[in-house]
Structure 1
Amino acid sequence: MYCDDLKRRLVDKEVSKVLGLLKVSAAITFDAGITACLENLESVPWSEEEEEKVISQLQLHDSVSEVLKRVSAEPSTSSRADDIFLNLLIVVLQAKDDKARREMKALISHLLREDASSNYGNHINRLDVSKDALYHLCHGCFSSLVLCLSEAMCVDESKQDRGILTSEISREADNMQWIVDILLHKTMGDEFVTLWADQKELANLHSKIPTMYRHEISRITSQLCIAIGRGRILVPKDIRYSLLSTWLEALYDDFGWMRRASRSMDKKLVEDGLGQTILTLPLLQQQAILINWFHRFLNKGDGCPNIQKAFEVWWRRAFIRQYVAESQLQITVCDIQIETFQ
């Protein structure tokens, strides 16, 4: 209090000590001390632990808006949150440097997960990306993939052309996988299953180009099957069947390349997800798909996903248990009626 230059005396002091002095100064209405402490806090960097202490204490004081500007957004900024996130995602998807693109994808994914699980502050105005923004990016990726596959059908057979094209398709497929991963984490993936099942043009182009160009695209199908198989996506059976009708043959054809080309691919996870997805369908659809798989697996072996566990479940359902839905329903209804009259 008796220092000629209190602001200078606070240089190099720990944030906790400055906060302690601020508390005392406020209690005795020592204006010069309050001003010096606030100027110090506005200027120095804070650790995350110190930040929490600063916010909790300064919210009790008047005239601290300048200090808290580094942690609070203007209402206009919060209202533009979706635009900010959309622009960030677009920049990542269009990045030229592959290593930097992978790092920023990992960073954004980590921050979105951290944001969803954090307990900080008010969740209402949280900076976030909307469903509309993510699906806007999905449609852009669809267009890019169709263009790449169309070009692949006319590609020159030179190694240089093949290498460039393979890289472009892989890049666009990886972009789509990333957006799908975000959608799944945010439980917004239901609509994407329908969109992916409806990509007839893309699937048709996919079937006409060499596997070496296209196998990364089938990883999108495997993502969806894993999510459906785990119950993370809930879509009607018609959509599930349409997904497999459009993309299952492509997944079979590309499976061997997917295994060889991607170290990160979990073979068992994909097989389990695919098998569980098939088992969610009506029994006759299970039968058609699994008998077709049985013949294919005998000819392809490890080049085809091994879903024999699903085959066993279907077999027991079809020939051992022989559950009759209509009879069981009648029994259940009768039981209910008996209990009612009693």
Structure 2
Amino acid sequence: MEICHGVKNALGILRVAVKLGCPRIIAVCVDYLEAVPWEEAEEEEILNTIPSMGSKVEPVLARLQPVNPTAVMKIFLAALQFATSSPPSPLNDLKNTAQEQLEYMLTEDDDAPLLSADEEIKLEVMRCVKKLLDRFNSIVESLLCDLQESISDSGKMQSLHSCLTDLLWACQILGKLEIIRDFVCSWTELSMKLVTIVQQKDGENQILKTKLKVLEVTAKVLEAIGYGIVVLPTVKRLHMVKLWLPFVRTMKPLVDSVSEETEEDLTLKFDSEIWQSLESAFVAIILTLSSVDQTDILTEWLENQQIRYPDLTEAFEVWCYRSKVAKRRLATLGEEHNTAKAV
């Protein structure tokens, strides 16, 4: 092994040894390369070099071989359990890594996902996310009780923020697996309680960060509703608009002002794409409601001082067009209906 002195040098010696047919030197180089760590560039060079050298050097590639589906499933489920758990804070970085890698496993990029989203995976993900939602609901109920008794518990608010972070990640996974419906329904049911809690908490940076995290999750939920990914009854769609529209409207100037005052605090920066996503989702949902409900919402918007955001201009334009042509459209439908009855 003394002849190798590094991966690059060992590869050079190995090339010569293979060309000259020196089995002992080949064995030494193979044993060395199989045992030592590789840098990323070295790994690429190994991949470009070793496969053409035959079976005698195959042990070098053992760490790069595809894993069988059973083993992949085993590590996925173990990582999923940890990613949706509530470990002590020193393990949060490990938990974040588990979440990132689970998302990566399911992502289709230049390569196919590491595992196919079969029913077993979907059921296990749904089960783990339900446990996460149950934990979140317990925190929300506990904070509501504290609110009624005028108790302030920063530890519970931190737990709420942590759980919201996990739920935002869960939205990504559920979306990839196309199983977000139960999550959307649960968030819809929890929304009133959640707004009640976060609206009562003002001033502190941590509370503002928690409110922003609430908005991020809500944006995912409203997108799913607005674009028909999850179909909800009219009453629930109306509820979500009437509840979250005022909240989002008051949050935008607040976040903008805080961001201007504390430019160094990057944790309070909020992705402009999320504001746009919320606005687009509101417009999409509003346009699915009855003309009467649209009228109420748009009237309130036009009379509100915070008319600039969310900008419901598109919904207003569509409402104007639909309202203007409604009688002509429905008259035509009525004539067709009467003709059909006469026949």
Same fold per superposition (TM over 0.5): yes
Structure 2, gaps ≥5 residues long: 202-209, 256-267, 337-343
**2:160 is the counterpart of 1:163:** no
* Aligned Cα root-mean-square deviation (Å): 4.1
2:38 aligned partner: 46
Indicate how the Cα distance of structure 1 residues 42 and 239 shifts in structure 2: closer, same or farther if over 3 A, else same. same
> How far 1:78 sits from its partner (Å)?
2.5
Alignment of 1:126-205 (within 5 A): 126=115, 130-155=121-146, 161-184=152-175, 186=176, 188-189=177-178, 191-197=179-185, 201-203=189-191, 205=193
**2:259 is the counterpart of 1:264:** no
Deviations 1:199-253 (A, max 9, x none): 5652453465462458554542322334565x5x634xx4274652442232124
Taking structure 2 as the reference length, what is the TM-score of the superposition?
Answer: 0.70
The letter for the 1-side match of 2:133 is: F
Q: Matches of 1:70 and 1:301 in 2, distance apart?
A: 62
SS across alignment from 1:69: helix
> How far 1:194 sits from its partner (Å)?
4.8
2:65 aligned partner: 72
> How far 1:155 sits from its partner (Å)?
0.6
Indicate how the Cα distance of structure 1 residues 325 and 195 shifts in structure 2: closer, same or farther if over 3 A, else same. farther
SS across alignment from 1:153: helix
Alignment of 1:204-243 (within 5 A): 205-206=193-194, 209=197, 211-212=199-200, 215=211, 216-226=213-223, 234-235=229-230, 238-239=231-232, 241=234
The letter for the 2-side match of 1:263 is: K
**Which moved further from structure 2: 138-147 or 160-169?**
160-169
**2:284 is the counterpart of 1:293:** no
Indicate how the Cα distance of structure 1 residues 142 and 253 shifts in structure 2: closer, same or farther if over 3 A, else same. farther
Q: Matches of 1:325 and 1:224 in 2, distance apart?
A: 33
Q: Matches of 1:224 and 1:21 in 2, distance apart?
A: 58
> How far 1:148 sits from its partner (Å)?
1.7
Q: Matches of 2:286 and 2:93 in 1, distance apart?
A: 33
Taking structure 1 as the reference length, what is the TM-score of the superposition?
Answer: 0.70
Deviations 1:42-65 (A, max 9, x none): 233322232133235434432545
**2:47 is the counterpart of 1:55:** yes
Identity %: 15
Indicate how the Cα distance of structure 1 residues 114 and 258 shifts in structure 2: closer, same or farther if over 3 A, else same. farther
Deviations 1:298-334 (A, max 9, x none): 5653297332321222221331487849969x99xxx
SS across alignment from 1:154: helix
Contact 2:279/2:312 (CA < 8 Å) preserved in 1? yes
The letter for the 2-side match of 1:277 is: I
